[in-house]
Amino acid sequence: MDFPTIQTNFWDAVLAVPIVLVVTQLLKVFLKIKKPYVPILALVLGFCFSIFISHRQHLFSGIFMGWFYGYAAIGSYASLKTTILSFRKENNSE
């Protein structure tokens, strides 16, 4: 099996993950998606963006990078939420 060359470009680094993150949060708010399903939604959106937009020339590349788009969005959201909650807790205790 020949593995494709997967290159990270501008789309991957700057646009894909924030778009997946924002679209996931918008769908969560407007469609009233329950919290346990939000990470699955982010992963599906990551796959869709990667397979149909950024890596449409090769399915394996699309699946591989889509996994990273989805999980990077999940991790970014979790990190941001933890930071905000920690900051609020620290400022309220003083």
pLDDT value for 91: 83
Phi-psi region of 32 (alpha: psi -120 to 50; beta: other; left: phi over 0): left
* Number of C-beta neighbours around residue 13 at 10 A: 9
At residue 1, the pLDDT reads 66
| Intervals of the chain under pLDDT 70 | 1, 3-9, 11, 13, 93-94
pLDDT score of 27: 96
